[in-house]
Amino acid sequence: MTTPRTFLPALLSLLLLAACSSGGDTPAQPAKPAEPAAPAKPALTVTVVGPEEREVDRRLAANGSVAAWQEASLGAESGGLRLTTVKASVGDRVKRGELLAEFAAEVPLAEQAQARASLAEAEATLAEARANAARARSVDGTGALSPQQLQQYLTAETAADARVKAARASLDAAELRVRHTRVVASDDGVISFRAPVATLGAVVPQGQELYRLIRQYRLEWRGEVPAAELARLKVGQKVVVTAPSGGKVSGVVRTIAPTVDSQTRNALVYVDLPASAGSGADAPLKAGMFARGEFDLGKGRGLTLPRQAVAMRDGFNFIFLVGADRRVTQTKVEVGYRDAERVGINTRLPAGAQVVASGAGFLADGDLVQVATAGSPAAKAE
């Protein structure tokens, strides 16, 4: 039988553990309030300027393609002949009448000789028929010949004359076929294309193109201009076309297309370029190039900004407008006039616009900026 004395140590141990457990509890701490978010830091300290109106050289920019002014196709005018000479290659500058290629002439020369012999035979027959007809006419009315016999002599003369004309036509065709064995340049120009079939020994079918020639070495620029801007253009206006390499070529508006593309709402403006623009291996422009041009619209009043205020991205010009909250808005603009310090802006800007004067290339749309005051170091650096 268990006695109360046996449970006494166990009971004391339980009481001690309970006291230690209750003594270790600490009162709950109140939650700390959330710290306020740190204010956004400006991306850049900038100075701002407003657009300035000045008298400028007004220009209209457009993009377009460079193409040959006129092209001439040169090829085989007779079929079934073998190429024996191939002289011209792409890029060669040629003169009118210069030999480019030649076909074997044995067959055409034989046909020409045969045609000449046929003509000689026809002429002999005609001479005999004319003599017979002359004798028949001399005895007409004497009863020596019947009317039927007289008519036979006259008809024979007419038929012989027709055979002579046919023989002469055959000779002309044979001589033309001989001339067609020579492929010559139809005008001064530069060879822009040579067909793969233009090789020695090739038998070329009639009508096959062998070469293509840019006539008189001349190119043209075909600018794509929005329909709304066409009223500002006229024939004879000066245009400066800038090649992808940066080279500049001056041209003149030749004509404006009478129709507008229904998809793009642009019209083609054809600009004549000097022969030097496309002749020679080092010429700045080549047919097929994509180039930018500026039409000279004369002098006028326009908005200008410092050159540093305009940033170019992806082929377009942008400025950054500073709002009341000091955040910038990236704005696409059309640039016209340029000089060493300022750029003409053809895009309408909001009244009182404040534009980042420099450092636009380091900003992104929506950036927060610090606007420098007139006496700040940043402003003095400007």
Q: Which residue has the higher pLDDT, 170 or 143?
A: 170
What average pLDDT does the segment 139-153 reach? 84
Give the number of C-alpha atoms closer than 13 A to the C-alpha of residue 133, restricted to the C-beta side: 17
> Do the domain assignments include residue 259?
yes
Amino acid 266: pLDDT: 95
Contact by Cβ (8 Å): 221, 253: no
Which pLDDT does position 258 carry in this prediction? 95
Residue 161 falls inside a structural domain: yes
pLDDT of amino acid 56: 80
| Rounded-to-integer distance, Cα 8 and Cα 13, Å | 9
Same domain, 285 and 355: yes
Q: Rounded to 5 degrees, what angle do the CA atoms 26, 31, 37 make?
A: 150
CATH number of domain containing 333: 2.40.30.170
Do 222 and 189 sit in the same domain of this protein? Answer: no
Distance, C-alpha 297 to centroid of its chain:
23
> Same domain for 314 and 187?
no
What's the pLDDT tens digit per position in 219-231?
999 999 999 899 9
Task: Return the sign of the alpha-carbon dihedral for residues 142, 144, 149, 152.
Answer: negative
pLDDT digits (tens, 9 = 90+) for 188-216: 999 999 999 999 999 999 999 999 999 99
Identify whether the C-beta of residue 40 lies closer than 8 Å to the C-beta of residue 325: no
Q: Is residue 43 part of a domain?
A: no
Domain count along the chain: 3
What digits encode the pLDDT tens for the residues 355-368?
A: 999 778 888 899 99
pLDDT grade, residue 239 (50/70/90)? very high
Q: Select from 172, 196, 216 the last residue of a domain.
A: 216
Does 17 reside within a domain? Answer: no
- Asked whether residue 151 is domain-assigned, the answer is yes
At 17 the pLDDT is: 47
Any domain includes 25: no
Which residue has better confidence, 139 or 256?
Answer: 256
Q: What is the structure's pLDDT at 231?
A: 92
Based on the fold, state whether residues 62 and 84 are members of the same structural domain: no
Q: Could you tell me which residues are beta bridge partners of residue 266?
A: 226
The answer to whether residues 208 and 253 belong to one domain is no
Q: What is the span of the domain harbouring residue 93? A: 80-103+183-216
Mean pLDDT of the chain: 86
Domain boundary, last residue among 180, 195, 226: 180
Percent of the chain whose predicted confidence (pLDDT) is above 70: 85
Domain assignment of residue 74, yes or no? no
Which of 165, 174, 173 is CA-nearest to residue 126? Answer: 165
- Predicted pLDDT at 141: 77
**pLDDT tens figures, 12-68:** 454 444 444 444 444 545 555 555 555 666 768 888 999 998 888 888 889 999 999
Over residues 267-287, mean pLDDT: 86
Do 249 and 322 fall into the same domain? yes
Longest dimension (CA), the chain: 191
Same domain, 230 and 255: yes
> Structure tokens of 163?
């055979």
Q: Looking at 216, 234, 266, which one is the last position of a domain?
A: 216
Q: What is the pLDDT of residue 288?
A: 92
